[in-house]
Amino acid sequence: MAEDTNLPESSQSVVIKKNGKGKNKKRLKRDPDLFHNYEFSLLQFNKRVLNEALDSRNPLLERVRFIGIVSSNLDEFYQKRVGGLKRQVMAGVYKRSLDGKTPASQLKMISKQVKGLDKVIRKTFEKELLPKLQDNGVFIVSFDDLDDGQKKYADDFFYRQVYPVLTPLAIDESHPFPFISSKSRSLIVELQNPATNEQLFARVKVPDNISRWIRIPGNMRRETEDREGEAVLLPLEDLIRCRLQEVFTGAEIISSHVIRVTRNSDIEKNKEDAEDLLEMIEEELRERRFAQPVRLEVERKTPDHIKNLLTDNLNISDDDIFEADGLVGLSEFTELADIEGFDHLRYEPWTPVTHPAFSREAENDTSSFFDSIRESDILVHHPYHSFATSVERFVHEAADDSEVLSIKQTLYRTSDDSPHMHALIRAAENGKQVAVLVELKASFDEQRNIEWVHKLEKAGAHVAYGLAGLKIHSKLTVIVRREADVIRRYVHVGTGNYHPKTAQLYEDLGLFTADDQVGKDATNLFNFLTGYSPGQTYSTMLVAPHYLRMEMTKRIRHERNLAAKGFKAQIIAKMNSLEDPGIIEELYAAAENGVKIDLVVRGVCRLKTGIKGTGNNIRVHSVIGRFLEHSRVYYFSNGGDALYYIGSADWMKRNLDSRVEVLLPVTDGKIKNYLWRMLQTYLDDKRQRWLLKPNGEYKPAAPPEEQADQGVQHTFMENARLQSAAHSQS
């Protein structure tokens, strides 16, 4: 079917209000009733994560892990989102959000929502999970719960490993209030001088380079015969609290209270004017350490005069104080979930399988690996397909292959000990041209990326730091190889980072191709990123910020036009977040004309369902489970000639306008079939899928009586396992 290139504007009757004076001065004003609040939607995502801790079908320690995950998410939420809003309030900014809320009103909403969420988190752990842990032999104890032998062990541990690290800091007129680093735990100690009866205060930081969970030998079920397989865990802060007298010799300890401070990480820098981006990021990291506190966690029993001391010195409002009856700071529960000896309380281990296209070749046969890619495009689906035997092998074999001339790669996030990065260093040392585009502005990974920059440069690699004003978010590798009289380019385009650890925990897609046009586009993109080549064009790739928004808009409008003419029209899109108002308006307009739209959005979704005129044509799904859903896939029915795209970009304003992103059209028929089945599997899920309600909250897609025992992620694991078994027998 021929494509209609006459593209109408979005339906203004549904999504846009006109406002303005004069014949030629019209301003389009978006209707706030058509969008969910970003912060509210992000907190709804965390409620869905918390539900995994509430779900008794999940293994016990995995439920504990989800407590840690949602707590860590809230840490980041306060560091970035709340920190940014507070900075706006302090600057006197009254600009309303897309849904019509001021920064101040959003902060009030956030405080109410998060305190309710925090209450459920703590109740879930203390009333449900903690007793179950004890029933299964995992005890989180206080020092006073230990017997004499266990106390001796704890004391020995304190004197050998903890006491030498502690640094008490006095708080008085001659000692300024000490700096408290973000997300660290501290003890605020109230003392008295016996000689003068003078009341004193001090702060002792709980070391963050010692595990919070001290495993004490012995057992707690002393009255029973069932003493095997126990884990007795003493929180580090409790051990320090019980031995404060050793720290403050000669003083009387009146009380001590655990606190935790979260600081703003939303430090504003003019990255467009930065002459030295590396130096600017390093300075930003230094400033972030001393940024304004945005949240204070305290024990509920902390007396008012201690709270006042803290709030006065930290400049924290009452809305940002969180009181805990139990442990302060729960993000370390992810570490607790990995305690040795309790595998039966975790998910059954999953070992990713090697994709059949790569498993047929000998591990040391480099040429056959590239032959496989040259024969046909290959799609890998992580963590069901192995990252190590596909993406990592791609770079490792290129590093050692004498026919490989160059390796180019974008790097957004990776691990401290990444084999991937060591392969790039080895390639540079082997004399190959290695060019790495390192994104220094990757949130919370800046320091790690800076360290890799220095290592790569030392090895002789060409390192670029990105573009001023643009964050490099694309996941792209190009390997140039000499084959007989031909120079061939092999390309990997992914939806996820080149990070070996998250590749085992995140669901992502990666496409390998030797297509010549894709190779040329990838080369043009690297020329744009590393040199002065702003005028690049691309024949296959959709690249932001140049063409991606335009092409996505064009595709949505084409489906709308098909539906208006009575043809079947459908859009299915899977992404991390949907936030861009322009795309949302286009989707509303398409739904008005009858386009069937299914959106699988893991996190934030500002689009509303049930908007007048759209009928039931838009459904928003969200899948939460063992693996973090991270892939981006876009399907357009296109009058029967379906179009598929995969890549790094969400439908967010920042991804479309302020980042370098890549979406790649899929042309291989088998891969298209796989993506169709994959999307349908998500839409059919009856265990892990949620549906967005018009009020912005979510409900399970299947009622309790219809829910399945296993979800979509288990289905993909089984499919990968069966695929691998069938291949090994062929």
Q: What is the pLDDT of residue 238?
A: 98
Mean pLDDT value across the chain: 89
Task: Tell me, yes or no, whether 205 lies in a domain.
Answer: yes
Would the annotation count 38 as a binding residue?
A: no
Of the ranges 363-372, 589-598, 678-687, which one carries the lowest mean pLDDT score?
A: 363-372
- Consult the annotation and say whether 257 binds a ligand: no
Share of the chain above pLDDT 90, in %: 73
Range of the domain at 284: 141-345
Which residue in 257, 382, 396, 473 is the catalytic one? Answer: 473
Do 567 and 420 belong to one domain?
no
Claim to verify: residue 510 and residue 642 sit in the same structural domain: no
Q: Is the dihedral of CA 371, 372, 375, 380 positive or negative?
A: negative
Whether residue 356 is preceded by a cis peptide bond, meaning omega within 30 degrees of 0, is: no
In a domain, 21, yes or no: no
Least trusted range by pLDDT, from 221-235, 583-597, 664-678: 221-235
Query: What CATH number corresponds to the domain at position 289?
Result: 3.30.1840.10
In a domain, 594, yes or no: yes
- Please check whether residues 448 and 510 belong to one and the same domain: yes
Between helix 446-459 and helix 277-289 the angle, nearest 10°, is 140
- Whether residue 580 lies inside any domain: the answer is yes
Domain C-terminal end among 315, 345, 375: 345
Q: Same domain for 557 and 514?
A: no
- Whether 104 is in a domain gets the answer no
Task: Give the separation between CA 541 and CA 522, rounded to whole angstroms.
Answer: 8
Distances (CA, A) of 51 to 55, 131, 688, 697, 708: 6, 18, 10, 13, 16
Question: pLDDT (tens digit, 9 = 90+) per residue, 430-442?
Answer: 999 999 888 776 5
120, 142 Cβ separation under 8 angstroms? no
Do 318 and 363 reside in the same domain of the chain? no
Residues 6 or more apart whose CB falls under 8 angstroms from that of 521 comprise: 538, 539, 540, 541, 543
Q: Residue 78 and residue 319: Cα distance in Å, rounded?
A: 12
- Residues 568 and 449 occupy one common structural domain: no
Q: What is the dihedral of CA 401, 407, 411, 417, to 10 degrees?
A: 30
> CA-CA distances (angstroms) from residue 54 to 139, 337, 715?
20, 15, 22
Q: 551 with 610, same domain?
A: yes
The reported pLDDT for the residue numbered 730 is 63
Specify the pLDDT at position 228: 60
Of 511, 539, 567, the position where a domain reaches its end is 539
Domain check: are 313 and 362 in the same one?
no
**Helix H segments across 612-668?**
653-657
506 is in an annotated binding site: yes
What are the tens digits of pLDDT across the range 22-42?
333 343 578 999 999 999 999
Q: What is the pLDDT of residue 148?
A: 96
Same domain (yes/no): 443, 457: yes
- Asked whether residue 647 is assigned to any structural domain, the reply reads yes
Residue 640 maps to a domain:
yes
> Would you say residue 52 lies in a domain?
no
Does residue 180 register a pLDDT over 50?
A: yes
Task: Identify the CA nearest to 236 among candidates 157, 296, 333.
Answer: 157
User: DSSP class of residue 638?
Assistant: G
3-state secondary structure 200-244: EEEEEECCCCCCCEEEECCCCCCCCCCCCCCEEEEEHHHHHHHCH
Task: Return d(Cα 704, Cα 686) in angstroms, integer.
Answer: 9
Final residue before a domain boundary, out of 539, 562, 583 = 539
- Whether residues 179 and 248 share a domain: the answer is yes
Quick check: is 473 catalytic?
yes
Q: What is the CATH number of the domain that holds 516?
A: 3.30.870.10
The answer to the question of whether 602 is labelled as a binding residue is yes
How far apart are alpha carbons 78 and 619 in whole angstroms?
30
Q: Do 509 and 559 fall into the same domain?
A: no
Cα radius of gyration rounded to whole Å, the chain:
28
How confident is the model at residue 28, as a pLDDT? 52
pLDDT of residue 1: 52
pTM of the complete model: 0.91
**How many separate domains does the chain show?**
3
What is the pLDDT, as a whole number, of residue 286?
54
Q: Which of 13-17, 48-52, 250-254, 295-299 has the lowest mean pLDDT?
A: 13-17
pLDDT grade for 665, boundaries at 50, 70 and 90:
very high
Q: State whether 498 and 551 are in the same domain.
A: no
